[in-house]
Amino acid sequence: MIKEATATVFVFRHREDASWQVAMMWHPRFAGWIPPGGHVEADESPAEAAVREVVEELGSRMRLVAGPATPLPDGFPHTPVVAPWWIVEMAASPDSHTSEQHVHVDHVFVALWDGDVRPPETRVRWFDEQELADGTDIAEDSRLQAKELFARIGEVAEFAHS
């Protein structure tokens, strides 16, 4: 089975009323709302693909927040890369990259929104926790992940700013 690396990003923004929202984009092929993301190109890491996809699809700047990971030893001589929160394999139907059934090895990242830089390529909607729970056209796997992240976003944001 063909396996392709992909990156997905749950981009959160903090509102003036202290609540949080997560960005979702409308995906016509799936007829539903999903987080931004896409294939990792040959010349980039999954983290770089995550940043590129958010700029392309949402028109937004953001800061990736490293997922839970074991710290590298002191004095480690190589450059660390932002760790994803999850890495999952999921079946993928033929798409613009591969004309047959294949598997996406999806690197799932969390990010904090840092403003818009240009108009988005797609329809974008910001969901609060209740809208996410009530939405009928949100991909169920995305809903489950976002629900988990909403429960932790306060501590995630605090860690990112420390």
What count of Cα atoms within 13 Å lies in the side-chain half-sphere of residue 48?
A: 8
Give me 36's structure tokens: 């931004």
Residue-averaged pLDDT of the chain = 93
Q: What is the pTM of this model?
A: 0.93
Domains contained in the chain, CATH given: 3-70+80-161 (3.90.79.10)
- Condensed to tens digits (0 to 9), the pLDDT of residues 28-58 reads 988 999 999 999 999 999 999 999 999 999 9
Looking at residue 101, its amino acid is Q
* Class of residue 36 by CB neighbours under 10 A (exposed 0-12, middle 13-18, buried 19+): buried
| Closest CA relative to residue 109, chosen from 158, 70, 56, 69 | 69
Distance in angstroms (rounded) separating the CA atoms of residues 148 and 134: 15
Distance in angstroms (rounded) separating the CA atoms of residues 123 and 150: 22
| Closest CA relative to residue 35, chosen from 4, 62, 68 | 62
pLDDT of residue 138: 95
